[in-house]
């Protein structure tokens, strides 16, 4: 499984976006922040609510010079069918990565190897910096949906500390909030 600070693998995967299928090489995203949203599968119950949530905030991610990419073990053809059929997914404009072999899910540690959900992905959100290094992630049980707002907050915090060496962001930090300087007793507003 990928660890914090490690570089993401240079995989090339089929991807669906804007009514087109294409090959996406992960390392082609170098120079851009990335947020990967792994989910169990298309045509499910919680997954469309999460992708719809991310779609609503997609313009905010783009303002941060970040690309949002969803990932499941479905094929690119299933992504297209879901996009064509689901009112929630029709609005998704970010890339939808197809990982039917589970290569990407295994690399990120989300792949379910055994049990009733074998071959699916856990819900995982991964923030990757422009140098293609993993900066933050969360992973949890598939019955619990996540918040795109929290993913955006984590992205902004990661960007802030990358742009302000020596500063750290406390819990629930939002842009404009107080930050900390380790080793000093002062809390300054940036």
Examine residue 39 and state whether it is found in any structural domain, yes or no: yes
pLDDT in tens, 108-156: 999 999 998 999 999 999 999 999 999 999 999 999 999 999 999 999 9
Closest to 94 measured CA to CA, from 173, 16, 5, 171: 16
Using alpha carbons, list the distances in angstroms from residue 7 to 57, 81, 84. 26, 32, 34
- Enter the DSSP assignment of 108: H
Number of Cβ within a 10 Å radius of residue 14: 17
pLDDT in tens, 5-14: 999 999 999 9
CATH of the domain at 35: 3.40.30.10
Examine residue 170 and state whether it is found in any structural domain, yes or no: no
Strand partners, 7: 133
* Boundaries of domain holding 124: 12-165
Catalytic residue among 2, 8, 47, 152: 47
pLDDT in tens, 23-63: 999 999 999 999 999 999 999 999 999 999 999 999 999 99
Q: Into how many domains does the chain fold?
A: 1
105 catalytic? Reply is no
Examine residue 129 and state whether it is found in any structural domain, yes or no: yes
Examine residue 187 and state whether it is found in any structural domain, yes or no: no
Which element (helix H / strand E) includes 25? strand 20-25
Examine residue 116 and state whether it is found in any structural domain, yes or no: yes
């Amino acid at each position: 499984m990928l660890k914090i600070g490690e570089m993401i693998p240079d995989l090339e995967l089929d991807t669906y976006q804007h009514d087109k299928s294409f090959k996406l090489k992960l390392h082609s995203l170098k120079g851009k922040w990335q947020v990967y949203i792994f989910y169990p599968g298309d045509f499910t119950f919680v997954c469309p609510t999460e992708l719809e949530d991310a779609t609503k905030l997609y313009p905010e991610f783009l303002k941060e010079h970040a690309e949002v990419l969803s990932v499941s073990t479905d094929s690119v053809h299933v992504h297209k069918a879901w996009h064509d059929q689901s009112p929630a997914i029709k609005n998704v404009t970010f890339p939808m990565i197809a990982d039917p072999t589970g290569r990407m899910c295994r690399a990120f540690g989300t792949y379910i190897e055994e049990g009733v959900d074998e071959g699916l992905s856990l819900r995982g959100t991964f923030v990757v910096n422009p140098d293609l290094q993993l900066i933050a992630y969360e992973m949890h049980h598939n019955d619990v949906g996540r918040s795109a707002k929290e993913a955006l907050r984590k992205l902004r915090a990661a960007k802030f500390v990358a742009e302000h060496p020596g500063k750290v962001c406390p819990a629930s930090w939002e842009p404009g909030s107080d930050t900390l300087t380790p080793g000093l007793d002062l809390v300054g507003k940036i």
